């Protein structure tokens, strides 16, 4: 029911109400608005990469684009990540909730274990983890093979937002802090 400033119904409104009542239409009561908020059930969002076998998630067609040495800092940050967030990661300000050590593993073993570790971290909604890849000093070639591969695998993983070589107390350039995307 519309009313003018004086609170009285205008002639047009009155005629409209009469026409509607003849048709059997009754006015709705608008004195109470109920907003229903849908219950927010937390669901794991299934994406294409979640359905793929874990080993196929990241290809083995690895071609190093840069020559990473044992003492080099690994650094990666997806676009859209705030500078402050990445700075705090670099400074080791996030609480490390889990750790994976890849020392002594073959490339294949390391890849499978790393991907399983990241999947488990996602399932338990772990936001920051540490991955120890080593510096490659004991490898047959003297090259940091796992360090290079870890750099590649982490940068290609869809759940990894950023990573950075750890502080000396946490392993220095032989490990990385990894910031993961929340699953919620």
Q: What angle do CA 110, 139, 117 make, to 5 degrees?
A: 15
Q: Residue 176's domain is classified under what CATH number?
A: 3.30.1370.110
Q: Are 122 and 114 in contact (CB under 8 A)?
A: no
Is the pLDDT at 90 greater than 60? The verdict is yes
Least confident of 4-8, 55-59, 127-131, 160-164: 4-8
Q: What is the mean pLDDT of residues 13-41?
A: 66
Q: For residues 51 and 48, what is the distance between their CA atoms, to the nearest angstrom?
A: 5
Q: What is the mean pLDDT of residues 21-48?
A: 56
- Can you give the pLDDT at residue 4? 52
In a domain, 141, yes or no: yes
> What is the total count of domains within the chain?
1
In a domain, 13, yes or no: no
Q: What is the pTM of this model?
A: 0.68
In a domain, 33, yes or no: no
In a domain, 94, yes or no: yes
Q: For residues 103 and 109, what is the distance between their CA atoms, to the nearest angstrom?
A: 11
Q: What angle do CA 155, 137, 141 make, to 5 degrees?
A: 85
Q: What percent of the chain has pLDDT over 70?
A: 72
In a domain, 164, yes or no: yes
Q: 81, 57, 66, 79: which is closest to 156 by C-alpha? A: 57
In a domain, 96, yes or no: yes
- Can you give the pLDDT at residue 59? 61
Beta bridge partners of 75: 164
Q: 11, 34, 58, 16: which is closest to 154 by C-alpha? A: 58
């Amino acid at each position: 029911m519309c009313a003018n400033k004086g609170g009285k119904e205008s002639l047009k409104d009155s005629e409209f109400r009469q026409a509607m009542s003849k048709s059997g239409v009754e006015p709705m009561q608008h004195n109470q608005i109920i907003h229903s908020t849908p219950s927010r059930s937390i669901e794991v969002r299934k994406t294409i990469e979640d359905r793929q076998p874990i080993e196929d998630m990241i290809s083995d067609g690895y071609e190093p684009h840069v020559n990473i040495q044992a003492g080099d800092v690994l650094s990666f940050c997806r676009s859209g990540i705030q500078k402050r967030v990445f700075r705090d990661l670099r400074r080791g300000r996030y609480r490390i909730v889990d750790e994976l050590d890849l020392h002594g593993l073959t490339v294949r073993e390391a890849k499978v274990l790393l991907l399983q570790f990241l999947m488990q971290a996602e399932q338990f909604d772990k936001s920051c983890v540490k991955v120890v890849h080593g510096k490659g000093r004991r490898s047959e070639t003297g090259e940091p093979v796992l360090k290079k591969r870890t750099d590649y695998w982490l940068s290609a993983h869809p759940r990894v937002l950023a990573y950075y070589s750890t502080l000396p107390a946490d392993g220095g350039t032989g490990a990385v802090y990894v910031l993961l995307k929340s699953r919620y």
